Chain A
Amino acid sequence: MSRGASIKVRGLCKTYGSGARAVHALGPIDFDVAAGEFVSLIGPSGCGKSTTMLLVAGLEPITAGRVEIDGRPLTEPLSDVGIVFQDHLLLEFRTALGNVMLQQQIRRLDRDEQRARAAELFSRLGLAGAEDRYPWQLSGGMRQRVSIARALVHDPSMLLMDEPFGALDAITRTQIRHDLELLWLDTRKTVLFITHSIDEAIGLSDRVLVMSPGPGRIVEEIPIDLPRPRPAHLGDHPEFARYARRIYDIFENLGIYRFHRDRP
């Protein structure tokens, strides 16, 4: 089983377009993710969270700065990685298992071994019996579980997740969050997790990086020192409330939240 890879980001900037119409979207930002660490990026829309993820994956050209994976500078799309987006992005013309086996086909991996891994992931993610169903025959939560299986079947050392539960209902989201945490505890892959949700960030992460928009920057780093696995109803935890309060305060100080405290 491949263990996590480390990420090192220094002076990373991204500008879209050029000349007078250039939009400075991100940076400069610096951060590190240790091997096997679960780190969340949290912030409002447009703060460059998704851009950061794409740059770390080597999927968009870097404007300035550098990204190192396990100490090696990134020069081409990162291959030893699994990616999950907000929408499941499954291929509608493939079955659930067919979607997961896309990794094996494109990477030309051993078929039987990948099938066995897929079967194990399906059972761990509560997808047993759904192998031959097409995406339209699955619920939103199951589709997202399939896309998590697709991101993990080739045993990558890193998992990049861009608001993976954003499109799911609150009940499904709590369950899938818990399942992901257990899976991560067993495999200890490096995870960079992008989210809008304060609950998700605190519920899953070893560390939360809070971002602010225009251009995107990291404004605060909050280590989350809570026991694992973390409970579904985090609200009961006094420590959780303290962390959540801290993130709310940061957002309020940045003017992202405007609470009208003086109203009767």
Chain B
Amino acid sequence: MASAIAGRSGRAAVTALQAALAVAVLLGTWEILVRVYEIPIWLVPKPSDFLARLYTDAALIAYHAAATSWTILLGFLLGVLVAVPLALAIVSFGALERGLYPLIVFLNIMPKTVVGPIFVVWFGIGPLVSVFLVFLMCFFPVMVDSMSGFRAVDRRLFYITRSMGATRWQEFRHLRLPAAMGPIYAGMKIGIVKAIEGVIIAEFIASQAGLGYLIMRASGFMDLTLMFAALVATALVALLFNAVLTGGERLLLPWARHLQR
């Protein structure tokens, strides 16, 4: 067992090393090409330029990264908190499924970013627009996967719990909810990717803080190194959220370990 764990973390270390190596090769090639062909910094900055910017402008970038992270967190939590109970309600009541579900599907087909300008009119320039857009982006994948999760329980399992004399609450608590956890979590993992996409677009159009805002502002000044630095910061924020979700999965869904490898 101990050797298996050591083997796994060893393998993880090798994988991380390979990834780091690939990034280093990419950035190195980039650096060399830009230097050799003397491409001006306002057209394509060198990795050394924008990585340095991450350091010299650390406070500025951290401030906007924090704003973006906060927006993602709020919008995402709101999305999950609405999507999961709504999914349960839709699965439980046929009328809701027939009435509400088609509407939600229609709303989802519509590109969510187009409602951004409408939100600007309603809520003004500010974090609320971004939070709502993030909410919209991650809401649907979480809801669809939650619905399939709440449906996934084999009917005959309810025979067994009913013969145990289970109340509806016990059925939910011991059967439906834990059975749906895997799909809900899968939906959340898709949702967080959508949320990060949504937050940057929202910050492009309607905000005074956040990495999307920083990128737009830097674009106005043709400050490409700052734009690239903010881009790297965005990727780091995305990585952080993914890491938290992946880590949480091991904690919350220990039975699904074979699916997580």
Contact = CB atoms under 8 A, between A and B. Distances in A.
A77 B255 contact: no
Interface in A106-133: 106-107
B98 interface: no
Nearest to A57: B163
Interface stretch (B40-48, B103-111, B175-183, B242-250): B175-183
A85 interface: yes
Given A59-B162, A77-B163, A93 B170 contact: no
Interface stretch (B2-10, B29-37, B153-161, B187-195): B153-161
Interface string A62-99: 00000000000000011101110101010111110000
B99 interface: no
B239 interface: no
B165 A107 contact: yes
A54 to B, nearest CB: 7
A93 B179 contact: yes
Given A83-B159, A93-B253, A77 B165 contact: yes
Nearest to A95: B255
B159 A59 contact: yes
A79 B163 contact: yes
A16 interface: no
Contact of A106 (B154, B157, B170): B170
Interface in A216-251: none
B166 interface: yes
A54 B162 CA distance: 12
B154 A89 contact: yes
A83 B160 contact: yes
A175 interface: no
Category for how many chain A residues contact B? 20 to 34
Nearest to A137: B258
B163 A59 contact: yes
B121 interface: no
Given A106-B161, A106-B165, A89 B174 contact: no
A120 B161 CA distance: 23
Nearest to B161: A106
Given A54-B159, A85-B156, A134-B255, A91 B165 contact: no
A57 B164 contact: no
A79 B165 contact: yes
Contacts of A91: 157, 174-175, 178-179
Contact of B163 (A78, A105, A136): A78
B164 A102 contact: yes
Contacts of B159: 54, 57, 59, 83, 85
21 contacts: A57-B159, A57-B163, A59-B159, A77-B165, A81-B163, A82-B163, A85-B160, A89-B156, A89-B157, A91-B174, A91-B175, A93-B178, A93-B256, A94-B255, A95-B255, A102-B161, A103-B164, A106-B161, A107-B164, A107-B165, A137-B258
Interface of A: 54, 57, 59, 77-79, 81-83, 85, 87, 89, 91-95, 102-103, 105-107, 134, 136-137
